[in-house]
Structures are given as structure tokens and as C-alpha cells.
Amino acid sequence: MRRLAILLLLVGLFASGGAAAGTARDAGGRSAAATAVVPVAGTTCRAFPADNYWNTDIRSLAVHPRSAAWLSHMSTGRNLHPDFGPSYGDGPNYGIPITVVGRFHRKVRVRFDYAAESDRVRYPFGRDTRIEGGRNSAGDKHAIVVNRYRCRLFETWNTRVRSGHWRAGSGAVWSLRSNQLRPDGWTSADAAGLPILPGLLRWNEVKAGWVGHAIRFTTDVTSRHYLWPARHDAGSTDSWDYPPMGARFRMRASFDASAFSPRARVVITAMKNYGLVLADNGSPWYFTGEQNRNWPPALVEELKRIPASAFEAVDTSSLG
């Protein structure tokens, strides 16, 4: 009888095209279907478990006691800058590309400049590996590769290949099914010792209408400290009045997004619910997305209207 009742309920749902009364909803009133996890494009892998730091809703967290001090050193008079989108013919489109490989992709040895803090395993790199800015870039040259069969993530920084030999500044390997962190004090492909992939804004999730994670961003001057789950710093001052790696910033709930387009509001909602994570030194308030030729230029321009003054630092000590 119980099985029959369940089948009848499912039939009723399909017939009505909707959800049954009492469907679980999040704090913002969205149904479970509306907040469904969008996997990395080309895979069935989500960017880490649902209870991972990057995927944790921070709306209920208190403002950090040092919020005002940190923001006073972060150029809050400017707007945010999406560090992705079209390049209008000037080289590859902006953003950090994601390469997806299969089960049997060939793996190669990579020599690291910072070998002591790198995962010295073989990486699934080859002619298909996409590098941020292109292989001749003078920039960070991040490479992000996901093995779609094992949901395993490989990330490198300052990635180069010459005559078939691969080198990188540093490299890290992650299981997308685990919350395991790097050893304390170790860098990764990012200054904070964190994975890059879960903080990238991805086109397939914005298009789907839900971004359920925090977004990676940079600022120019940071302290020589870091907050969990960051494992490493790249600061230039010992003062706690400057933001440390791993600091998390949330858009205030009062920010009025009514003048923005629906897709821009998807990003703004993520900034209110999940916030921004400080993960590297760079231009103030540059937030990172994947390299994808489908980013609408109008959306990228619209996101440049978000003011840095709309953010506050939150106290994430209860998450560690």
C-alpha cells in the first residue's frame, strides 16, 4: 500500500506539472528544484559536497568585528569587476578555462617551482589542456582539469609546456567528493591554498538560474594571516586591519537588485547567500568566472554596476 501511495503521488506531480504542497524550501522560499546543484559542465560532478565551505549559506552569520577595518583598505569606492567574458578579438576570452577529461586520459609528469608544497603526481595534461590567457600568456596561466569519471580535480598555476615537457609554479589535486583540506601552511594553485574551481562563476549555472556557492575574488593588499579553510597567505603586512586570505564577504540583504536583469540577479543572489571568498592578491574586487564564449556581453557589463560598498565581512569561525 505504501508503494502504491508513493506511485500515486508521483503521478499527481507529473500531471499537475508542479510540486506537492509542503515541498521543502530554503530560507528564501525557493523549492528544492530551484536550488538544485548544477554540476560542472560535461560531467555529473558537483564542485565539492553540499556541506563544503564554498557551498554553505552564510546569510545567518554575524558581521565580522574587523569588517570595517578590512573594507577601509579595499577600495570600496569602486564597483566590482567580472574577470571573465568576451575579449573582443584580443586573444582568448577572459576567465579561467575548465578542461574535462575522460577515464583514460594520458597523464604526464609536471615539474614544480614550489615542489615542496605541490602534489607531485601525474596530471592529465595534453594538447587539449586549456590554460588561462593562452599558452603564451604573461598572466597567472592557471590550468583546471576535471576527470569526469573519478570527479577528481587537478589545478596548477603558472602552467607552461615546452617541447612536450610540463612545468608549473605549484599544483594541487582534489577529490570533488571530499572536504579534505591541504596541509596547513601549504599553497595550492591559489595563494590561499584553496581550490579554484568551486569559486568560479560558471555560465551553465547562471543560465540554469541558480548559483549555490561562494565566488572567488581578489584584492591588492592582504595581511600575512589566513582564516580557515585557507591554508596559506601571500600578504605584505602583519596588520590584522588588512584582510587575510580566506576572508568572506557578503552582499547586504538590503541591496536593491530590482533594476538588474534576471541573470544578473542570479549572481547577486549568490553574493547575498554565499558571498565572496578572498583567495589571491590582485586587482581589488575582481571576481572570477570560467572562460566561456557564451557569456553574454550585456550581462558582463551589467555586473560591473555592483558597488563594493554593498558588502560586509562575515564571521565564519563557526564553520571551521
pLDDT tens figures, 89-131: 778 899 999 999 999 999 999 999 999 999 999 999 999 999 9
Q: Select from 90, 204, 206, 83 the least CA-distant residue to 142.
A: 83
Place of cell 565539492: 48
Q: Is residue 3 part of a domain?
A: no
What are the pLDDT digits (tens) for 151-192?
A: 999 999 999 999 999 999 999 999 999 999 999 999 999 999
Q: Residue 295: inside a domain, yes or no?
A: yes
Does residue 306 fall inside a structural domain? yes
Q: How many CB atoms lie within 10 A of CB 283?
A: 13
pLDDT of residue 7: 38
Domain boundaries, position 143:
53-319
Residue entry with cell 506531480: 13
| CA separation for the pair 287, 81 (Å, rounded) | 6
Inform me whether the pLDDT recorded for 20 exceeds 50. Answer: no
Which residue type, as a one-letter code, is found at position 165? Answer: H
- Joined together, the cell numbers standing for residue 225 give 594571516
Q: By CB neighbour count within 10 A (0-12 exposed, 13-18 middle, 19+ buried), where does 85 fall?
A: buried
Question: Model confidence over 50-101: pLDDT tens digits?
Answer: 999 999 999 999 999 999 999 999 999 999 999 999 998 778 899 999 999 9
**pLDDT, tens only, 218-277:** 999 999 999 999 999 999 999 999 999 999 999 999 999 999 999 999 999 999 999 999
In-domain check, residue 46:
no
Decide if 262 is inside a domain: yes
Residue 10 lies in a domain: no
- DSSP class of residue 289 equals B
Q: Would 36 be classed as within a structural domain?
A: no
Distance of CA 310 to the CA centre of its chain: 20
What cell was used for 219? Answer: 584584492
Give the Cα separation of 5 and 21 in Å (integer): 16
Please determine, for residue 21, whether its predicted confidence score (pLDDT) is greater than 70.
Answer: no
pLDDT at 3 over 90: no
Q: Residue 100: helix, strand or coil by DSSP?
A: strand
Domain count, the chain: 1
pLDDT of residue 256: 98
- Report the C-alpha gap between 81 and 307 in whole angstroms: 9
Residue 26 within a domain: no
